[in-house]
């Protein structure tokens, strides 16, 4: 089993996405007030219990971490591990994983990026598809206690191979602000854990957590 720890050449890889990010900060859990419990794929309106996330940027000399909050978001939860089940993220929307969420794939949108927060103690199990022109921002909370586990897949019917994170052709833009992200090629020939596919290339990328 091959595990890729860094982005390829054309993707900025200051942060090793395969390793656990250990930071000396307290953990901030998502709110689970019964008043605000929602079903899968239901958008919360503004004014609901906020969820915190950490936005990281580079000021030229160091990483600057800023805690922010979002109240208008879609909670992702539940499991559907049927063959090639997928979830389509929408442009300029916020998504929060509070416990566990499982799909074969989640698909990033074109245009403005989707924003995905993985809460402390939560896990997302899915291949992360980011085709050319697509964009996705991934955020953690203080303590970086959330996890994404993305495994490459091989569609033997159509003979398509998908990386754990990226595209089977040319990869779009991925910005990682924190968290534990594990991408695995699972021994599939001619496909990387994080990359464009064997008919494409790596796309743009940025990492705010070197």
Instruction: Tell me the per-residue pLDDT of 87-120, one tens digit each, with 9 for 90 and over.
Output: 999 999 999 999 999 998 899 999 999 999 999 9
Q: Taking a C-beta distance cutoff of 8 angstroms, is the pair 123, 147 a contact?
A: yes
Please state the pTM of the whole predicted model: 0.71
Residue 65 · residue 26 · CB < 8 Å = no
Class of residue 84 by CB neighbours under 10 A (exposed 0-12, middle 13-18, buried 19+): middle
pLDDT over 90 percentage in the chain: 47
What's the pLDDT score for residue 82? Answer: 77
List the chain domain ranges.
38-207
Q: For residue 52, what are the β-bridge partners?
A: 69
- Measure the CA–CA gap between 64 and 58, rounded to whole angstroms: 6
Residues in the chain: 210
Cα-to-chain-centroid distance, residue 102 = 12
Average pLDDT over residues 67-89: 90
């Amino acid at each position: 089993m091959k595990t890729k720890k860094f982005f390829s050449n054309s993707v900025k890889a200051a942060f090793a996405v395969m390793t656990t990010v250990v930071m000396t900060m307290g953990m901030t859990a998502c709110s689970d007030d019964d008043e605000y419990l929602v079903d899968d794929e239901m958008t919360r309106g503004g004014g609901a219990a906020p969820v915190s996330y950490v936005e990281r940027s580079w000021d030229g000399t160091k990483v600057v971490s800023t805690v922010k909050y979002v109240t208008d978001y879609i909670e992702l939860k539940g499991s559907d591990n049927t063959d090639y089940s997928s979830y389509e993220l929408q442009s300029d929307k916020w998504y929060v994983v509070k416990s566990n969420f499982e799909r074969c794939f989640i698909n990033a949108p074109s245009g403005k990026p989707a924003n995905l927060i993985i809460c402390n103690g939560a896990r997302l199990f899915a291949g992360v598809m980011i085709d050319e022109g697509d964009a996705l921002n991934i955020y953690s909370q203080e303590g970086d206690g959330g996890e994404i586990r993305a495994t490459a897949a091989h569609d033997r019917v159509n003979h398509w191979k998908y990386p754990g994170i990226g595209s089977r052709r040319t990869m779009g833009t991925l910005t990682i602000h924190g968290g534990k992200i594990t991408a695995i090629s699972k021994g599939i020939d001619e496909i990387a854990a994080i990359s464009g596919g064997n008919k494409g290339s790596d796309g743009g990328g940025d990492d705010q957590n070197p």
